[in-house]
Amino acid sequence: MIHFVGAGPGAEDLITLRGAKLLEEADCIIYAGSLVDPNLLKRAKAACDIYNSATMTLEDVLAVMEEKEAEGLTTVRLHTGDPSLYGAIREQMAALDARGISYDVTPGVSSVFGAAAALDAEFTLPGVSQTLILTRMAGRTPVPEREELRKLAAHGASMAIFLSAGLLEEVQRELCAGAFTEDSPAAIVYKATWPEEKTLRCTVGTLAETAEREGIRNTALILVGDFLTALPERSKLYDPHFTTAFRKGDDT
């Protein structure tokens, strides 16, 4: 059996209870070495075989999974954040399906939520934005044309941009070709929830120079939108005049 597990954004106590238990029981752990805190591996049994997938190909990973499976052993494939975002899990699952090897998935706290927490931010502010767009800039991995950053940025919704900290000149240009301006609020969150976390509030026009000044090229999320600075309107949910399924309001 293979368990895909989300490790959480960084801090070792942000893995789920289920994920931690699976790590403790695993006979083999294959972890995404570049972004998973090695301290999580302290949970492993002494006899657990541990592999860092940063130096492995898909074929190498599958070979280890197949070998462990043949011995009746349990493997945890530990991915950073939540495995469903830029985790390259579907290609592993398709190969496991072809080999008749079963698997399941334990979700994790994505870095996008680690970053919001670091900024005390709420992506979905009433009157500001009720939508969060998770995306990336096209780089060595292409992005479908209909999802070009400038097209998504045309909505002016809250945005979280992954995998793009090394492309900030382009990110700025694309955001300004959408609904944002140089003065729109932005933030760079480097290594959210890790001890070396940095939160840098800036504007769309100063993203590149802010990252350059701080020496940030990777492991950062770019957040953009008025949610970063707007004063909140009152929500309906906790308004005494508003009736919900659980509470009668005075409906005045």
Cβ proximity to ligand SAH, 68 vs 221, nearer residue: 221
Binding residue for ligand SAH (CB under 6 A) from 3, 4, 10, 178?
10
Please name the amino acid found at residue 33: G
Binding residue for ligand SAH (CB under 6 A) from 62, 125, 152, 163?
163
Indicate whether 92 belongs to the interface with ligand SAH (CB under 6 A).
no
The residues pairing with 118 across neighbouring beta strands, listed in sequence order, are none
We find the least distance from the C-beta atom of residue 179 to ligand SAH, in angstroms, to be 22
Binding residue for ligand SAH (CB under 6 A) from 114, 172, 186, 206?
114
We find the least distance from the C-beta atom of residue 34 to ligand SAH, in angstroms, to be 8
Indicate whether 85 belongs to the interface with ligand SAH (CB under 6 A).
yes
Cβ proximity to ligand SAH, 108 vs 178, nearer residue: 108
Binding mask 62-81 for ligand SAH (x = CB under 6 A): -----------------xxx
Dihedral, CA atoms, 1, 61, 218, 215, nearest 10 degrees? Answer: 120
Bridge-based pairing of strands 158-162 and 220-224 is antiparallel
CA distance 228 to 116: 9
We find the least distance from the C-beta atom of residue 204 to ligand SAH, in angstroms, to be 17
Cβ proximity to ligand SAH, 100 vs 144, nearer residue: 144
* DSSP assignment string, 206-249: GHHHHHHHHT--SSEEEEESGGGTPPPPPPSTT-TT---SS---
Indicate whether 162 belongs to the interface with ligand SAH (CB under 6 A).
yes
Bridge-based pairing of strands 103-106 and 185-190 is unpaired
Question: How many residues bind ligand SAH, per CB under 6 A?
Answer: 25
Cα–Cα distance list, 229 to 58, 190, 245 (Å): 42, 19, 31
The residues pairing with 8 across neighbouring beta strands, listed in sequence order, are 81
* DSSP assignment string, 87-138: --HHHHHHHHHHTT--EEEE----HHHHHHHHTT--SS-TTT-S-EEEEE--
Binding residue for ligand SAH (CB under 6 A) from 12, 37, 69, 82?
82
**Binding positions for ligand SAH, rule: CB under 6 A:** 9-10, 35, 79-82, 85-87, 110-111, 114-115, 162-163, 189, 191-194, 218-221
